[in-house]
Amino acid sequence: MLNINEQLNLDQPVNFDKATIKEITALIRERKVSCVELVHLYFEKIDAQQSLNAFISLDQAAAIEQAQFWDQYIAEGKPCPALIGVLVAVKDNIHVAGFVNTAGTPALAQFRPKATAPVIQALIDQGAIVVGKANMHELAFGVTGYNTAMHLEGVVGTRNATNPLHIAGGSSSGSAVAVAAGMVPIAMGTDTGASVRLPSALNGCMGFRPTLGRYAQIDITPISHSRDTAGPMAHSVSDIILIDQLISQQQITASIQTHPIRLGICTYFWENLDQDVQQQAHRALQLLKNAGIEIISVEMPELGHLNHHISFPVVIYEGKYDLIQYLENNQIGLSLEAVVDQISSPDVQQLFKQNILPELIADTTGESVSVGPLYQQALSEARPQLLALYQKTFQDHQLDALIFPTSPIVAPLANEHVSSIENFQRLIRNTDPGSNIGLPGLSLPIGCGEKSKLPVGLEIDGLPNTDHDILAIGQVLEQIFSSLNHR
């Protein structure tokens, strides 16, 4: 049987499982492959890996129709747009006209939005082809991707691209798996506290959370308007940069560092790591030091305390009222209570019924108290204090970024207990603080753990609106880490 490169008659072999935007668009521009051929190629990969539960809905016919349009466009001698023929998976809480937008929950299974979200339209306008809507933790309220509503018979939850006995992470689980498993070159997810960076780390691809507000949040099923953002996933930082430029309409100039890159290490992010994460992360740090990157130890003693006073109060309060507003604005014809009644995943059902609907949160004694005052306190006190702590730390130590393991642990085994509160708190521990103050964060793969053979990720976080700097530093780190990631 012919391999893919022989089928496509390519003289230079291309690894389509890890292909970048540059590689794919070059093949199309040089007429070595057609957009239609690429659609068939990637759908073969999707069909062969259905048991990973990466997608909720697919539309190969629509993808072929888009591909035929772009092939004709090229045949007419028109200039190729930036993403011509590049297939993209879209998390199923981001609206795409022609697809249902389930947000991973049964009550919304018939909701068909009329318009495409601006973050996706920006990619479609540049030639990207949407293959389908990617699976996710139900309503995006979780970080395992173990969704009991949306899955193949007998295989619950989106499964890890490296080892399907393990979880994919979430909530943008299908988006990360689709990229990491070679089903698509790029994907879009959303990130409230971890949900682009965490699954990217657990599956071995790049994931970027931009500064809050950098991308339009229109036509996206919400959790928290003060924390939510869309974010891209890909195989290379250059792909992330291009997607970011197309969505934000901001160009990243070639960054020339006049001083060595200075990365801060705060103890909070480096405690209680599992053995594989500890070993890989310290290997990566040694590579950085060998390359002349300055690693600076910093103290942020109030970080954990301040973060705790923001996370749950914000999500519980905004999680109710933002979703009510979304249902009304989109004329879905369902109350929030009706949506909650149909939630399938036990962890999400419990969160809505015990906390979000009644607006209750456990205090330090374990007693349930009204979340309203704690929410206001989070906005007026804890959040400004946490941002000030970051700003002072960066200023005092002249940091370009903080660096830390994206997840303290490799992907746990997939089972009915995996979405416990203990696992949630451990998986989200490192990504959450930056999310609470709207920081940009980039997760980069640093190979797999020796014992588990599962992917490990390292994240860099910058201050708000330093997205260009974080992505430029990411390109430097990507090269340094290349020996850890065998393409």
User: What pLDDT sits at residue 391?
Assistant: 98
Side-chain half-sphere of 348: how many Cα atoms within 13 Å?
Answer: 29
Query: Which residues are CB-contacts of 189 (< 8 A; sequence separation ≥ 6)?
Result: 91, 134, 136, 171, 172, 175, 176, 195, 196, 199, 207, 230, 231, 232, 233
User: What pLDDT sits at residue 7?
Assistant: 61
Phi-psi map region of 85: left, alpha, beta (phi>0 left; psi -120 to 50 alpha): left
Phi-psi map region of 228: left, alpha, beta (phi>0 left; psi -120 to 50 alpha): beta
The torsion angles phi and psi of 83, rounded to 5 degrees, stand at: -115, 25
The pLDDT of 443-456, averaged and rounded, is: 98
Beta strand 229-234 with 262-266: parallel, antiparallel or unpaired?
unpaired
User: If we measure between CA atoms, which residue out of 427, 448, 409 comes closest to residue 280?
Assistant: 448
Per-residue exposure over 370-402, b if at least 16 CB sit within 10 Å of its own CB, e if not: ebeebbeebbeebbeebbebbeebbeebebbbb
The active-site residue out of 34, 57, 133, 171 is 171
Please give the distance of CA 414 from its chain centroid, rounded to a whole number.
19
pLDDT tens per residue across span 459-487: 999 999 999 999 999 999 999 999 999 74
Cα–Cα distance for residue pair 389/399, rounded to 1 Å:
13
Q: Is the pLDDT of residue 6 over 60?
A: no
User: If we measure between CA atoms, which residue out of 199, 206, 193 comes closest to residue 53?
Assistant: 199
pLDDT tens per residue across span 316-344: 999 999 999 999 999 999 999 999 999 99
Q: Is the pLDDT of residue 12 over 50?
A: yes
Q: Is 171 a catalytic residue?
A: yes
Cα–Cα distance for residue pair 247/249, rounded to 1 Å:
6
pTM, rounded to two decimals = 0.96
User: What pLDDT sits at residue 3?
Assistant: 57
Q: Is the pLDDT of residue 299 over 80?
A: yes
Contact 147, 135 (CB under 8 A): yes
Cα–Cα distance for residue pair 248/232, rounded to 1 Å:
12
> Over pLDDT 90: what percentage of the chain?
94
The pLDDT of 71-78, averaged and rounded, is: 96
**Band (257; pLDDT cuts 50, 70, 90):** low
**Band (1; pLDDT cuts 50, 70, 90):** very low
Q: Is the pLDDT of residue 90 over 90?
A: yes
Eight-state DSSP code of residue 166? B
Question: Which 3 state secondary structure label does DSSP give 403?
Answer: strand
Question: Which 3 state secondary structure label does DSSP give 296?
Answer: strand
List the single range of 29-33, 253-257, 310-314 with lowest mean pLDDT: 253-257
pLDDT tens per residue across span 45-74: 999 999 999 999 999 999 999 999 999 999
Q: Is the peptide bond before 51 cis (omega within 30 degrees of 0)?
A: no
User: What pLDDT sits at residue 8?
Assistant: 63
Cα–Cα distance for residue pair 232/442, rounded to 1 Å:
10
Contact 398, 469 (CB under 8 A): no
**Band (352; pLDDT cuts 50, 70, 90):** very high
Contact 173, 199 (CB under 8 A): yes
Query: Which residues are CB-contacts of 31 (< 8 A; sequence separation ≥ 6)?
Result: 74
User: What pLDDT sits at residue 451?
Assistant: 98
Helix residue ranges per DSSP H, 96-235: 118-124, 173-180, 197-203
Cα–Cα distance for residue pair 368/365, rounded to 1 Å:
9
Q: Is the pLDDT of residue 455 over 50?
A: yes
Please give the distance of CA 321 from its chain centroid, rounded to a whole number.
24
Contact 200, 183 (CB under 8 A): no
Question: Which 3 state secondary structure label does DSSP give 206?
Answer: strand
Domains of the chain and any CATH numbers: 4-248 (3.90.1300.10), 263-484 (3.90.1300.10)
Contact 17, 185 (CB under 8 A): no
The active-site residue out of 34, 57, 91, 172 is 91
Six token digits for residue 51: 């048991």
Query: Which residues are CB-contacts of 10 (< 8 A; sequence separation ≥ 6)?
Result: 27, 32, 33
Q: Is the pLDDT of residue 84 over 90?
A: yes
User: What pLDDT sits at residue 416?
Assistant: 97
User: What pLDDT sits at residue 2?
Assistant: 40
CA–CA distances in Å: residue 256 to residues 110, 262, 317, 469, 473: 50, 14, 43, 10, 10
Please give the distance of CA 306 from its chain centroid, rounded to a whole number.
24
What mean pLDDT is reported for the chain? Answer: 96
The residues with which 266 forms a beta bridge, in sequence order, are 298
